[in-house]
Amino acid sequence: GAVVSQHPSRVICKSGTSVKIECRSLDFQATTMFWYRQFPKKSLMLMATSNEGSKATYEQGVEKDKFLINHASLTLSTLTVTSAHPEDSSFYICSASSGRADEQYFGPGTRLTVT
Amino acid sequence: GQSLEQPSEVTAVEGAIVQINCTYQTSGFYGLSWYQQHDGGAPTFLSYNALDGLEETGRFSSFLSRSDSYGYLLLQELQMKDSASYFCAVREDDKIIFGKGTRLHILP
């Protein structure tokens, strides 16, 4: 149980374009989903927390107009990187929680490369 | 705010025991979690301690001392597949803050 999928696993896009990443909880209802980014050999940095049906809460320094998050249902959250630039290249990971933030289940991650 | 300290790297021999320490500073404390992450993969949840003491799950155990703001992850009978990064994490309200991770190298 507690499986989270992420799509796509890898994406390469041109600078200035937008990319949408989907995060789905497959076998449980996720009241909260989290979006992280991780640079090579670095820790996970929380970008935003999203609760179903409400606006996402962004961490300090994360541009909400650049990283659009939608949590339309209890099993799906999306992250859209708008007007991507090379510095947005990173590993983006979502996680889902059914109630306890202490126990999060992570998706497999999406490797974004902006050329 | 929160801060977590853990060693950046640890090296151990296959079959041995290794302990990864984590100290934390928090404004409020709900519990200490541990996650494992293999290169190129996503983190996987290992354990969670809300109360003082030792929690054992197979070869892995996790310990917490709230009075010392300290915890550790203990890995026994190390296997090559245990080579990974290990993150301690604490909860702040409804989100988790991760430490910088400890890269575990295992020698044959």
pLDDT in tens, B4-63: 999 999 999 999 999 999 999 987 788 899 999 998 888 888 998 999 999 998 999 999
Q: Considering only CB atoms, which chain B residues are within 8 Å of A104?
A: 45, 96
Q: Considering only CB atoms, which chain B residues are within 8 Å of A105?
A: 45
pLDDT at residue B53, rounded to an integer? 96
The model's confidence at residue B93, banded by pLDDT at 50, 70 and 90, is confident
The model's confidence at residue B91, banded by pLDDT at 50, 70 and 90, is confident
Given CB atoms, is A43 within the 8 Å cutoff of chain B? yes
pLDDT at residue A1, rounded to an integer? 61
Contact B96 A107 (CB under 8 A): no
pLDDT at residue B103, rounded to an integer? 96
Contact A102 B48 (CB under 8 A): yes
- Region of B82 (left: φ > 0; alpha: ψ -120 to 50; beta: rest) is alpha
pLDDT at residue B17, rounded to an integer? 97
Residue B94: how many CB atoms within 10 A of its CB? 15
C-alpha–C-alpha distance, residues B38 and A22, integer Å: 22
- Host H or E run for residue A97: strand A90-97
Which parts of chain A have pLDDT scores under 70? Answer: 1, 100-102
Any residues with CB less than 8 A from the CB of A18 and at least 6 apart, and which?
A80, A81, A82, A83, A84
pLDDT at residue A102, rounded to an integer? 66
pLDDT at residue A100, rounded to an integer? 66
Closest CA–CA distance from residue A9 to any residue of chain B (Å): 11
Give the pLDDT mean for B68-94: 93
